Structure 1
């Protein structure tokens, strides 16, 4: 398991006290994936928010790599928040460790510590807002024929 003090550096847990993380940690799972392993499959149900502890993952749609995520990055949150099937496949690029929090565990956090739950949801909202902002900038740059320095275009698999 990952130390509570180490988890504080991840954006998902920013602003949480160590004792709050200690309460949440037993509700999380450590998952291991090898290179090429699918973590989430497009179109299937996903009920976990995951964040990379070690390694790299690719977000793939229609055989295009849309994004790559590394240590500290969260993924899978869209499906948990909007309860829709997964919009893309997430695949391990390297040997990867992720921590996951299930939808059920989020409800348990809500019951145990409303303040911690609120902080986690606000952190998720911030992360999603940053991604949306980068995507908007990327689209505007693409529309204007400019490069997109922060978000490289999709790569064919």
Structure 2
């Protein structure tokens, strides 16, 4: 699938103007992963956002006993890695491909470049990331809440 088509259909980039979508497509890189390949590992320094084009990824974390604990499975049009853009901290989980996977990657530098020319579009992206994080937190709280 063409990068522009993927970006144009992602909820993360909704409401962007055609010129903004085209610029993001220029900046993004498309990567393919085979089953079991690692996109990034827990502890890696984060600096990229990934948008799932095709396939699914599994997010896992090592527990205190070093056992791998599955956290979630994500598929199109979801995204991940956004926390690495926000705090440039080490990744808190490992992400690996489940089957054949295609991902678009935008680095922090890509988004800084985009922001310089498209400040309004950049603001929309940040708001959509915040909305997604808020929804994920609500879902996590609901799962952790005691069942009555």
Q: Same fold (TM over 0.5)?
A: yes
User: How far 1:4 sits from its partner (Å)?
Assistant: 2.6
Indicate the SS of the match to 1:44: coil
User: How far 1:31 sits from its partner (Å)?
Assistant: 0.7
User: How far 1:3 sits from its partner (Å)?
Assistant: 4.7
User: How far 1:2 sits from its partner (Å)?
Assistant: 2.1
What is aligned with 2:69?
A: 64
Identify the match of residue 126 of structure 2 among 121, 129, 141.
121
TM-score (norm 2): 0.91
What is aligned with 2:91?
A: 86
Supply the RMSD in Å over aligned alpha carbons: 1.3
Rounded Cα–Cα distance in structure 2 between residues aligned with 1:94 and 1:15: 31
**1:42 corresponds to 2:42:** yes
Deviation digits for residues 101-149 of structure 1, max 9, x if unmatched?
Answer: 0000110011111011111111111111110110111111xx23x6xxx
Identify the match of residue 111 of structure 2 among 103, 106, 114.
106
Ranges in structure 2 where 5+ consecutive residues have no aligned partner: 63-67
Rounded Cα–Cα distance in structure 1 between residues aligned with 2:139 and 2:112: 30
Is the CA contact 2:46–2:83 (under 8 Å) kept in the aligned structure 1? no
How many residue pairs get aligned? The number is: 143
Q: Return the structure number with greater strand share.
A: 2
TM-score (norm 1): 0.86
CA spacing shift, 1:136–1:100, aligned 2, 3 Å = same
Ranges in structure 1 where 5+ consecutive residues have no aligned partner: 147-157
